[in-house]
Amino acid sequence: MDTAKIKTLRQVSEAISEVDDARAAAKNDTTISQAQKDALDHSSVLLRRLLNDILLQNEQVLIDALRVDTVEMNVLITTIGNAVTSLSSVSNTIQKLSTSVGALITIATTTVSAGLI
């Protein structure tokens, strides 16, 4: 059974794969600016941090960490931008992921405030 946590972990992992593929492709691509390459590298670090945060289980720390992660993700979406067509899919993936993590935060906040864990 795929739980919400496993589903989100999988989504984050798929986003990491997509970002890493884009990083590998951008390595020798002169059409992609250095700022965008840096943003991709930063995305990869941020997404792995997000993955670790979801894996950990300290409730309130987790919720706070995820909130920070999603704010940073939204900044990245803007930085990567849609100027370069090859990166628009990466930007969309992170956007979708940000929405999923937002839903996860809502579940976690409800669970913690209800004292269920």
Partner 1 sequence: MYAGRRIRVFSPLYTLPAYFTFVTCYRNIDFDQFFKFKKMKISLTIVTVLVLLFSSCASLTKSQVAAVNQFAQTSSNFSAFPSKIINGVHDLHIRHQLYAANAVPKGEDHVDQIKDVYDFKVKSTGLPEKMDITFRIIDKYAQSLLLLTGDKEITNLDSLSKTFGTGIDSLIKLYNARFPSDELPSGIGGAISALVSKGGEAYIRARQAEYIKEFVPRGDVLIGKMIDNLLDYLQNGIPTPFDTVSVLGLVKEERVFTKRDYLTFVKLVTPTIDNDRDYFQMLSDLDNIELLYRQTIQGAKDLRAAHAALLGVIKEKKTLRETIRELQDYYEAIKSLRATFSKISSN
Between 49 and 67, whose beta carbon lies closer to partner 1?
49
Residues of this chain, 29-48, that bind partner 1 according to CB under 8 A: 38, 41-42, 44-45, 48
Residue from the set 31, 52, 82, 92 that interacts with partner 1 by CB under 8 A: 52
60/97 Cα distance (integer angstroms): 21
Largest CA distance in the chain: 53
What is the C-alpha to C-alpha distance for residues 46 and 88, in angstroms, rounded to an integer? Answer: 18
Structure tokens at 34: 């250095």
Binding positions for partner 1, rule: CB under 8 A = 1-6, 8-10, 13, 16-17, 20-21, 23-24, 27, 38, 41-42, 44-45, 48-49, 51-52, 55-59, 61-63, 104, 107-108, 111-112, 117
